[in-house]
C-alpha cells in the first residue's frame, strides 16, 4: 500500500472543500453475473479478468477509483460457488465471506435476467439489515446493525448494500426491470437498487453516487493514479489464465491454473515464462491443441494484453504441465495466492 497523497478537493462551484469520502466496497454475487466486468468499467482498466465461464475470478482483487470528492476501493471477489466444492472452491467461498467483513459498503450483483437460487446464497452472507423500529419511542437493539444513526440526524440507510442489476443491455424487454426491482426489494432492504450495464457504461455514475453516500469521511488510502494492489506479475499470470478460460471448452477451467516461472524485465522489453498447470494428460493435449495451435493462440492473445499492461514489447513463452490434484493441495493453492 502506498503513502496517502492528498488529492484535489476544491469544489468548483463555491471554492469550498467538499467532504472527501474514502471506503472499501466489496463486490459480491454468484458466478458469472458480471462482477469483474463491472469493476473494470468502474476503474476504466482491465484489472480483473473476465470470461463467460464461472470461477473466472479466484483471488480477491482490488480496484481503486479516485475522484475529486471520493476514493472508492473495490474488492472484486470470486463468484459464490454451489458446486465443485474442493479445497480451492471452499477457500474461494470463505474469501467471499471474509471480504464482507470490515468493508464500508457492498455491491451485490444480480443478473437483470432474473433472481436465481445462487443469489439467495449470496443474500445469506450479507450483513443483517437494521430491524425496523417497532414503535417510535422504543429503543431498538441493533447488534448487527449495518447502518448508524447519523450525527446530523438524517435518516440512515437500512443497509450498506446496493444491488446492481447487471447486463441490462442484454435485456430484450426493458419492461421486465420494474417487477425485478420490486422482487429484489422484497428480499432485502437494499440501500438502492440500480440497473446497470458494465458493457455499455450505463448508470455506473448513479452506482458511484449511491456508494459515495455510504462511505465515511476520510483521506485517500491510495495514490490517485493507482488502480490496483496487484503486482504486474500477478496480472500477467491472470491475463494468460483469462485466455485459457476464453479459448477452451467447458471442462477445463476448474482444473487449470497459471504461474509465472521467469520474469526478466529491461527498459526495452520483458521476457516472461508462464506455466499452465492442468490436472490430467487429456487436458494438457486440449490446451496445446492440434499442432500446438491452441497454445499459440493463447500465447498471442495473452501477450497482447501483457504488452498493453507493461507498455513495452513482451516475449512470452507458455508451457503446460500436468500436476494432478493441485486444486486440493494447500501448498499449491498458497503458491497461487488462493488464500485460506
Ligand atoms: N451483455 C453484457 N454482458 C456482460 C456484462 N457484464 C458482464 N458480461 C458478460 O458476462 C460474462 C461474465 O462476466 P464476468 O465479469 O467475468 O463475471 P463475474 O461475475 O466476475 O464471474 P466470476 O468471476 O466467474 O464469478 C462475460 O462473458 C462478460 O462479458 C454486461 O454489462 N452486458
Ligand atoms: Mg469475476
CA angle centred on 233, ends 231 and 236, rounded to 5°: 115
The fraction of the chain above a pLDDT of 70, given in percent, is 85
Task: Give yes or no for residue 7 having a pLDDT over 70.
Answer: no
How many Å apart are CA 255 and CA 155, to the nearest integer? 49
Question: Is the pLDDT higher at 151 or at 166?
Answer: 166
Residue 138 pLDDT > 70, yes or no? Answer: no
Q: What is the pTM (predicted TM-score) of this model? A: 0.86
Q: Is the pLDDT of residue 147 over 70?
A: no
Q: Are 74 and 99 in contact (CB under 8 A)?
A: no
Residue 220 pLDDT > 80: yes
21-212 against 232-335: fold identical:
no
Q: Tell whether the model's pLDDT for residue 13 goes beyond 60.
A: no
More confident of the two residues 57 and 73: 73
User: Please, which pLDDT band fits residue 17 given cuts at 50, 70 and 90?
Assistant: low
What pLDDT was estimated at residue 116? 95
Q: Show the cell assigned to 75.
A: 474488492
The protein residue with its alpha carbon nearest to ligand 1, atom 30, reads 167
- pLDDT reported for residue 267: 92
pLDDT at 11: 42
- Residue 213 DSSP label: T
Q: Which CATH architecture has domain 21-212?
A: 3-Layer(aba) Sandwich (3.40)
38-47, 135-144, 248-257 — which is least confidently predicted? 135-144
pLDDT of residue 154 exceeding 70, the answer is no
Do residues 91 and 58 touch, judged by C-beta distance below 8 A?
Answer: no
Does residue 102 have a pLDDT over 90?
Answer: no
Q: Is the pLDDT of residue 9 over 60?
A: no
Average pLDDT over residues 71-87: 88
* Interval 42-69 mean pLDDT: 92
Q: What is the mean pLDDT of the chain?
A: 86
Per-residue pLDDT, averaged over 61-76, amounts to 96
The SS3 call for residue 67 is: strand
Residues 6 or more apart from 171 whose CB is under 8 A from it?
112, 113, 177
pLDDT greater than 70 at residue 16: no
What is the mean pLDDT of the segment spanning 217-244?
Answer: 94
Mean pLDDT of 275-279: 91
Residue boundaries of the structural domains of the chain: 21-212, 232-335
Q: Which of 37, 113, 202, 338 to mutate to test the pocket of ligand 1 (most atoms within 8 A of CB)?
A: 37
Sheet of 21-28: strands edge to edge?
61-67, 70-76, 21-28, 105-111, 161-166, 192-195
User: Which ligand 1 atom sits closest to the C-alpha of 109?
Assistant: 19
Mean of pLDDT values over 113-136: 81
Q: What confidence tens digit (pLDDT) does each residue in 163-216 have? A: 999 999 999 999 999 999 999 999 999 999 999 999 999 999 999 999 999 999
Give the separation between CA 41 and CA 129, rounded to whole angstroms: 29
Least trusted range by pLDDT, from 39-48, 149-158, 199-208: 149-158
| Overall average pLDDT of the 67-75 stretch | 97
Please provide the distance, in angstroms rounded to a whole number, between the alpha carbons at the two ends of the chain: 21
The rounded Å distance from CA 53 to ligand 2 centre is 9
Give the homologous superfamily in CATH for domain 232-335.
K homology (KH) domain (3.30.300.20)
HEC profile of 216-241: CECCCCCCCCCCCCCCHHHHHHHHHH
Cα of 238 from ligand 2 centre, angstroms: 11
Nearest ligand to the C-alpha atom of residue 80: 1
DSSP 100-135: TTT-SEEEEEEETT---HHHHHHHHHSPPPPPPPSS
Sequence-ordered list of residues with C-beta below 8 angstroms from that of 194, at least 6 positions apart, any chain? 162, 163, 164, 165, 203, 206, 207, 210
Question: Is 60 exceeded by the pLDDT of residue 301?
Answer: yes
Nearest CA to ligand 1 atom 10: 34
**Which of 233, 257, 234 shows the shortest CA–CA distance to 245?**
257
CA distance 267 to 208: 37
pLDDT exceeds cutoff 90 at 339: no
Q: Which residues line ligand 1 (CB under 6 A)?
A: 29, 31-37, 50-52, 54-57, 78-79, 166-167, 169-170, 197-199
Q: Is the pLDDT of residue 139 over 50?
A: no
Quick check: 6 pLDDT over 50? no
Amino acid at each position: 500500500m502506498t503513502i496517502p497523497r492528498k488529492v484535489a478537493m476544491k469544489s468548483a462551484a463555491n471554492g469550498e472543500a467538499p467532504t472527501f469520502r474514502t471506503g472499501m466496497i466489496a463486490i459480491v454475487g454468484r458466478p458469472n453475473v458480471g462482477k469483474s466486468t463491472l469493476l473494470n468499467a468502474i476503474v476504466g482498466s482491465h484489472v480483473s479478468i473476465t470470461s463467460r465461464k464461472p470461477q473466472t475470478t479466484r483471488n480477491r482483487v482490488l480496484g481503486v477509483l479516485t475522484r475529486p470528492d471520493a476514493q472508492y476501493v473495490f474488492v472484486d471477489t470470486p463468484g459464490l460457488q454451489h458446486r465443485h466444492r474442493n479445497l480451492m472452491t471452499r477457500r474461494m467461498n470463505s474469501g467471499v465471506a471474509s471480504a464482507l467483513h470490515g468493508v464500508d459498503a457492498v455491491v451485490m450483483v444480480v443478473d437483470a435476467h432474473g433472481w436465481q437460487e445462487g443469489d439467495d446464497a449470496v443474500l445469506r452472507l450479507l450483513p443483517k439489515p437494521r430491524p425496523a423500529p417497532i414503535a417510535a419511542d422504543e429503543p431498538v437493539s441493533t447488534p448487527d446493525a449495518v447502518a448508524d444513526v447519523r450525527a446530523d440526524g438524517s435518516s440512515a440507510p437500512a443497509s450498506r448494500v446496493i444491488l446492481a442489476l447487471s447486463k441490462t443491455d442484454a435485456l430484450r424487454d426493458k419492461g421486465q426491470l420494474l417487477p425485478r426491482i420490486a422482487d429484489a426489494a422484497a428480499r432485502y432492504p437494499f440501500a438502492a437498487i440500480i440497473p446497470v450495464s458494465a458493457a455499455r457504461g450505463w448508470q455506473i455514475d448513479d452506482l458511484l453516487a449511491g456508494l459515495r453516500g455510504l462511505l465515511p469521511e476520510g483521506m485517500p488510502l491510495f495514490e490517485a493514479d493507482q488502480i490496483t494492489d496487484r503486482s504486474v506479475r500477478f496480472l500477467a499470470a491472470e491475463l494468460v489464465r483469462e485466455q485459457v478460460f476464453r479459448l477452451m471448452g467447458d471442462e477445463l477451467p476448474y482444473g487449470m491454473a497459471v504461474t509465472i516461472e521467469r520474469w526478466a524485465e529491461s527498459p526495452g522489453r520483458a521476457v516472461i515464462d508462464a506455466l499452465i498447470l492442468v490436472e490430467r494428460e487429456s487436458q494438457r493435449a486440449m490446451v496445446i491443441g492440434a499442432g500446438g495451435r491452441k497454445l499459440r493462440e493463447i500465447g498471442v492473445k495473452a501477450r497482447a494484453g501483457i504488452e498493453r499492461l507493461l507498455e513495452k514489447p513482451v516475449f512470452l513463452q507458455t508451457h503446460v504441465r500436468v500436476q494432478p490434484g493441485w486444486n486440493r493441495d494447500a501448498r499449491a493453492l498458497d503458491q497461487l495466492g488462493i488464500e485460506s
